[in-house]
Amino acid sequence: MNIHEFYMKRTLEIAKEGWGRTNPNPLVGAVIAKNGKIISEGFHEALGCAHAEVCAFSNAPTDISGATLYVNLEPCSHYGRTPPCVKAIIDSGIKEVVVAMVDPNPKVSGKGIQMLKDANINVIVGVLEEEAKKLNEIFIHYITKRLPFVIMKTAMTLDGKIASVTGDSKWISGEYSREYVHAIRNRVSSIMVGVNTVINDNPSLTARPISGKGIDPVRIVVDSSGRIPIESRVIQSDSEAGLILATTEKIHKDKETQLLSRGVRIIKTAPKNGKVNLRELMEELYKLEIDSVLLEGGGTLNFSALEAGIVNKVMTFISPKIIGGSSAVTPVGGKGIEKMKDAIALSDIRVERFDRDVLIEGYVADK
């Protein structure tokens, strides 16, 4: 590992401190090094707050002129919620900027780097680029595809069941797996389930990370005909996160009025095969600046999401338990795929252990 990679690795680590607070902005860290040591650090703490570079400048205890600045994403060159960082970098006296990746945002892409070069600042691009892209996979998808990044999370037994023949599902996965899922909930903008999950399990859909109080994601319930019970926890919860009901014109007007009076946002899509059009729903969520969706649905919704081509990433926890039952439900139901040659294959597979559970994670090719 060379010196640039060493400092960039630290930059990527501190960028993660902004998880769940910057959406739909990217995760960005900044490190200032001078005379062989780090003299200041900063990260983008929350949406609307100062960007990482400006934070690092503010935190610097000494003169930073002549220093090298490390950032995992190209500095912005446009006015958004905050002023452009490039001007602050130029004014600071920084002599060199090391960038992990070019910003995929067309408003920035390459422009910030060129402005730095025009100011006679040495710029190095591409240090730990793949790691930087992985860190900001949500932002990259959101900004280039103009759709939320959807993660389908499932937990199943060794024989592929997500509940017993009686519908009991607590708990399939172990404590450490569940803690990790709550950490993911704390990172994404929203969590989505089907109405059957609400009726059967009555979840609160909140984030309860082990590190402390989390930020609850927006709750989304897919409910084509408005069957959600008014007394459901997702409606009655005192969580500050909003609730979106994705439905169709099949919802009864009285039910719609009840839900609206309780602060529920309702998104109606044109029905597709009698159900919510998930692709259209994703387009509406994008307009609300929801950059990511953690899909924790049942087998029917999961298959519909895969069939609609909205799933980008799959996370499957496998617990070493066997429960059997020909009628016990599986993670993906629906009508199914008829031919193995048409099966949805994952790429870039990662496997991780959580105590006795195994997590298999991979990506679905764009449709």
Cite the active site residues: 53
- Strands ordered across the beta sheet of 29-34: 37-43, 29-34, 68-71, 96-99, 122-125
Annotated binding residue 197: yes
Q: Which tokens hold the place of 289?
A: 């600046």
Rounded Cα distance between 329 and 364, Å, is 23
Q: Is 57 helix (H, G, I), strand (E, B) or coil?
A: helix
CA distances from 102 to 8, 110, 310, 343 (A): 14, 6, 26, 34
What are the counts of helices (DSSP H) followed by strands (DSSP E) for the chain? 12, 14
CA 17 to chain centre: 14
Give the bridge partners for 69, in sequence order.
32, 97
126-146 burial, b at 16+ Cβ within 10 Å, e below that, comes to ebbeeebbebbebbbbbbeee
Q: How many angstroms separate the most distant Cα atoms in the chain? A: 70
Q: Which tokens hold the place of 42?
A: 């900063």
CA atoms within 13 A on the CB side of 316: 20
Annotated binding residue 185: yes
Annotated binding residue 81: no
Rounded Cα distance between 129 and 134, Å, is 9
Annotated binding residue 67: no
Annotated binding residue 78: no
Annotated binding residue 51: yes
Annotated binding residue 76: yes
Which run of H or of E encompasses 207? none
Annotated binding residue 301: yes
Annotated binding residue 296: yes
Give the number of other Cβ atoms within 10 Å of residue 125's Cβ. Answer: 14
Rounded Cα distance between 117 and 126, Å, is 16
CA 109 to chain centre: 22
Q: Which tokens hold the place of 237?
A: 């919860």
Rounded Cα distance between 230 and 234, Å, is 9
Annotated binding residue 55: no
Annotated binding residue 300: yes
Annotated binding residue 292: no
Give the bridge partners for 42, in sequence order.
30
Annotated binding residue 299: yes
Rounded Cα distance between 360 and 330, Å, is 16
Annotated binding site: 51, 76, 85, 155, 169, 171, 185, 197, 201, 205, 208, 224, 296, 298-304
Annotated binding site for Zn(2+): 51, 76, 85
Annotated binding site for substrate: 185, 205, 208, 296
Annotated binding site for NADP(+): 155, 169, 171, 197, 201, 224, 298-304
